Chains A and B, each alone.
Chain A
Amino acid sequence: GEDVEQSLFLSVREGDSSVINCTYTDSSSTYLYWYKQEPGAGLQLLTYIFSNMDMKQDQRLTVLLNKKDKHLSLRIADTQTGDSAIYFCAENAGNNRKLIWGLGTSLAVNP
């Protein structure tokens, strides 16, 4: 069945780069997304990538997609304390409406 997996925790030092990884199973997914959730808040869409792309860059964010291995990563350059949050990876389930979500990766940024 459809599944999205992420590592649960990541700790980095302020100013370093963070890399959050995600694997998915549905090869028919056309879009994959990264969302950020701060404590007590809803989910904020950070970026998405179309499945025929292997990289997308948006300011400090770089998304890499390895479609063969069904592996998605989010790199945050120059990580700041304000980046501390839970990051969710999500894939659409082929019908372009329903998203399959990972459990989220909790990113802690240490000063």
Chain B
Amino acid sequence: EAGVVQSPRYKIIEKKQPVAFWCNPISGHNTLYWYLQNLGQGPELLIRYENEEAVDDSQLPKDRFSAERLKGVDSTLKIQPAELGDSAVYLCASSLGTAPYEQYFGPGTRLTVT
């Protein structure tokens, strides 16, 4: 069974440019998460989807970040415009949404903003 797929793996952009990350969850997983991870830190939740509905986006900086999961399967996270402080690893995870609610992570996208 394929795991969570993310692309690209690495992205280097100049500040003020837009960037997008893509995630394809494990087949059958209706819950999808986007996290941000800074060096030496644990993951920080940005947004959680149940199917195509964003049920928790309280930590998403909505002035520059947006996300969508139009058909309840794959998802895109966008930053526009990017700032230097957005340099981090962006992780996507998925789960079945039933106990024990374990989340499975993709390899992440390492973003560097110069």
The one of B55, B91, B101 in contact with A42, judged by C-beta atoms closer than 8 angstroms, is B91
The one of A31, A44, A96, A97 in contact with B105, judged by C-beta atoms closer than 8 angstroms, is A44
Contact residues of B between 88 and 114, Cβ < 8 Å to A: 91, 93, 97, 99-108, 110
Q: Which of A45, A97, A98 has the most CB of B within 10 A?
A: A97
Residues of B within 8 A of A50 (CB): 100
**Cβ of A43 and Cβ of B56 under 8 Å apart?**
no
Give the dominant DSSP class at A's interface: strand
The one of B4, B42, B48, B106 in contact with A97, judged by C-beta atoms closer than 8 angstroms, is B48
Q: Which A residues are within 8 Å of any B CB, using their own CB?
A: 4, 30-31, 33, 35, 40-45, 48, 50, 88, 90, 92, 96-99, 101-104
Q: Which B residues are within 8 Å of any A CB, using their own CB?
A: 4, 31, 40-45, 48, 55-56, 91, 93, 97, 99-108, 110
18 A-B contacts, Cβ less than 8 Å apart? Answer: A31-B101, A33-B102, A40-B110, A42-B91, A43-B105, A45-B105, A48-B102, A88-B43, A96-B99, A96-B101, A97-B48, A97-B56, A97-B97, A98-B45, A99-B43, A101-B44, A102-B42, A104-B40
List the 7 closest A-B pairs by CB distance, nearest first.
A101-B42, A42-B105, A43-B105, A42-B107, A31-B100, A42-B108, A96-B101
